[in-house]
Amino acid sequence: MVVFFMDPLTTLTELLRDLPGIGPRQARRSAFVLAQKNPHWRKKFITALIDAEKKVHFCKECMHLFTRKRDDETLCPICRDIHRDDDTLLIVEKDADLENIEKTGVFQGKYFVLGGTTSPRSKKPEKEIHLSLLEKRIEEKKNLKEIIFALSANTEGDDTVRFLRTYLEEKCTALEIKMSILGRGISTGTELEYIDTDTMIYALKGRG
Ligand SMILES: [Zn+2]
Distance 56 CA to ligand 1 centre (A): 13
Q: What is the pLDDT of residue 60?
A: 94
Distance 80 CA to ligand 1 centre (A): 7
- Per-residue pLDDT averaged across 29-46, rounded? 95
Distant-in-sequence contacts of 120-123, Cβ < 8 A, 24+ apart: 120/159, 120/162, 120/163, 120/166, 121/159, 122/163
Q: What is the pLDDT of residue 191?
A: 66
- Per-residue pLDDT averaged across 94-107, rounded? 91
Q: What is the pLDDT of residue 189?
A: 45
- Per-residue pLDDT averaged across 127-148, rounded? 93
Q: What is the pLDDT of residues 10-29, one digit of tens each?
A: 999 999 999 988 999 999 99
Distance 78 CA to ligand 1 centre (A): 6
Displacement of CA 56 from its chain's centroid (Å):
14
Distance 79 CA to ligand 1 centre (A): 4
Distance 87 CA to ligand 1 centre (A): 15
Q: What is the pLDDT of residues 162-192, one digit of tens each?
A: 999 999 999 999 999 999 998 765 554 456 7
Q: In what order do the strands lie in the sheet with 110-113?
A: 110-113, 88-92, 146-149, 178-181
